[in-house]
Amino acid sequence: MTKRFRVIFATVSALAALIAASPSQAETKLSFLIDNSPDTVAAAEALVTAYEKKTPDVSIDIEQRPGGGEGDNIIKTRLATGEMTDVFLYNSGSLMQAIKPGQTLVDLSNLPSQANVNESFKAVVRSDGKVYGVPFGTAQGGGIFYNRKIYQELGLTVPKTWAEFMANNEKVKAAGKVAVAQTYRDTWTSQLFVLADYYNLNAAVPNFAEDYTSNKIKYATTPAAMKGFEHLKEVHDAGLINDDFGAASYDDGLRMVATGEAAHYPMLTFAIGALKQDYSDNLDDVGFFAQPGDDASKNGLTVWMPAALYIPAASKHIDEARKFADFVGSIEGCKIMMATNTVQGPSLVNGCPLPADVPPAVKDMLPYFETKGMTTPALEFSSPIKGPSLEQITVEVGSGIRQPANAAALYDDDVRKQAKQLGIPNW
């Protein structure tokens, strides 16, 4: 081999090596927007890692956003300006309806994974007969986490009525502990006493969702609907909450109930994933019960559907985004999320059963689902209307700034504006 030939051969070999080491020009890069809660981040990262391994010509960049009202505004703004990521995670139910899915989202009705998705979930991501999302997690309950060690130490039993719950709180307070953790720095967490009370409201006023949607009934003029606002005031005025309730965060609330700094934390059971991630040593110390009402014989659970994965109509990679969404909604995707964050309630994907070793908080929730009539969907899944200012209003009530009656009237006006924006008849 001549010297000149060896130089040419070496140059060609070097170029070949460089090309082999470089990303393929055919590689598709997807962007994925999620909320910044620890359990969401963990699940998203696990799904992306698994999908990139299965599909090496696709890479997915995860972007995080805040939760609550700030997150809602980011979603709406980016959809309106055409700057949304290729796939994004957002609420199902009324908040999905508020982003006008027929105009902004890609129809996912025909994804193969939809064959195994429970109809109860499809119903809350459907608009005009089209299904726009796939489930990101399991069904959830809204109620109250409690510290099992504190209950055992003080000889408390799980309450079936609000009066029993308040009696438990007084015993916790007398023992020198925080009875109810509240975390108003993350304003969305302030809504639970109102939203999780919907099972009790529906039991008292069975036609509430229908009449509320058609503008025939109001929170401020319905005593059963007022109860959630009144509960917020009651726990504040009784001195049952942590002193730093205005500065405490969602993560602080989870820490407090997990480690025994507080006896109770009103929250959705999606938080079980975050508890597993951040307080795995305390996971068995946390139990769960539905928000109690006035009648022990009518004690039941308000149920939330999980967030959904959506694709914006403006995505430049719709075909690849659909394949990723199909993976997330599949049995394999469901199992990855369960393995990462444990489970937060019943599975919504047929063929993806719950593991045997679910934590106590999930076991506490299952009897509600196993008994007919002991669950009802949250109002936001029974009506397309949810006023966006509720979390600010409930912070004010829970902080002792606003009275329940005034808060309910203010929320009714917030609902009116939202209904008009959505074009709901009779508003």
Pick the closest to residue 189 from 115, 290, 265 (CA basis): 265
- Taking phi over 0 as left and psi of -120 to 50 as alpha, with beta for the rest, 345 belongs to left
Q: Which two tokens stand for residue 276?
A: 């597993």
Here the contacts of 373-377 (C-beta below 8 Å, separation 24 or greater) are 373/300, 374/299, 374/300, 374/301, 375/141, 375/199, 375/300, 375/301, 375/302, 375/303, 376/198, 376/199, 376/202, 376/203, 376/300, 376/301, 376/302, 376/303, 377/120, 377/124, 377/302, 377/303, 377/304, 377/305
pLDDT band at 374 (very low <50, low <70, confident <90, very high): very high
pLDDT band at 8 (very low <50, low <70, confident <90, very high): very low
Q: Which two tokens stand for residue 360?
A: 């106590």
**Residues 6 or more apart in contact with residue 362 via CB below 8 angstroms:** 269, 272, 288, 342, 343, 344, 345, 354
Are 113 and 309 in contact by the 8 Å Cβ rule? The answer is: no
The phi, psi pair for 61, rounded to 5°, reads: -100, 125
pLDDT given at position 13? 52
Residue 43, number of CB atoms within 10 A of its CB: 25
Q: Could you report the per-residue pLDDT of 42-98, keeping only the tens digit for each?
A: 999 999 999 999 999 999 999 999 988 899 999 999 999 999 999 999 999 988 988
pLDDT given at position 390? 97
Using only C-alpha atoms, the chain has a radius of gyration, in whole angstroms, of 24
Q: Which amino acid is at 377?
A: P
pLDDT band at 26 (very low <50, low <70, confident <90, very high): low
Distances (CA, A) of 143 to 215, 300, 358, 378, 400: 27, 10, 18, 11, 22
pLDDT given at position 195? 97
pLDDT given at position 333? 97
Q: Could you report the per-residue pLDDT of 164-192, keeping only the tens digit for each?
A: 999 999 999 999 999 999 999 999 999 99
HSE at residue 215, side-chain half, CA atoms within 13 A, is 13
pLDDT reading at 370 higher than 80: yes
pLDDT given at position 316? 96
Task: Please report which helix (H) or strand (E) contains residue 162, including its range.
Answer: helix 162-174
Q: Angle 148-151-155 (CA atoms, 0-180°, nearest 5)?
A: 145
Higher pLDDT, 62 or 21: 62
Higher pLDDT, 345 or 296: 296
Pick the closest to residue 202 from 290, 268, 108 (CA basis): 290
For residues 388-397, give the mean pLDDT. Answer: 97
pLDDT band at 330 (very low <50, low <70, confident <90, very high): very high
The phi, psi pair for 294, rounded to 5°, reads: -90, -20
pLDDT reading at 212 higher than 50: yes
Return mean pLDDT, the chain.
92
pLDDT reading at 298 higher than 60: yes
* Rounded Cα distance, 94 and 125, in Å: 9
DSSP strand pairing (178-180 vs 262-268) = parallel
The percent of residues in the chain predicted with pLDDT above 70, rounded, is: 94
* Rounded Cα distance, 31 and 45, in Å: 13
pLDDT given at position 9? 45
Q: Could you report the per-residue pLDDT of 117-170, keeping only the tens digit for each?
A: 988 899 899 999 999 999 999 999 999 999 999 999 999 999 999 999 999 999
pLDDT given at position 372? 85
pLDDT reading at 410 higher than 80: yes
pLDDT given at position 7? 44
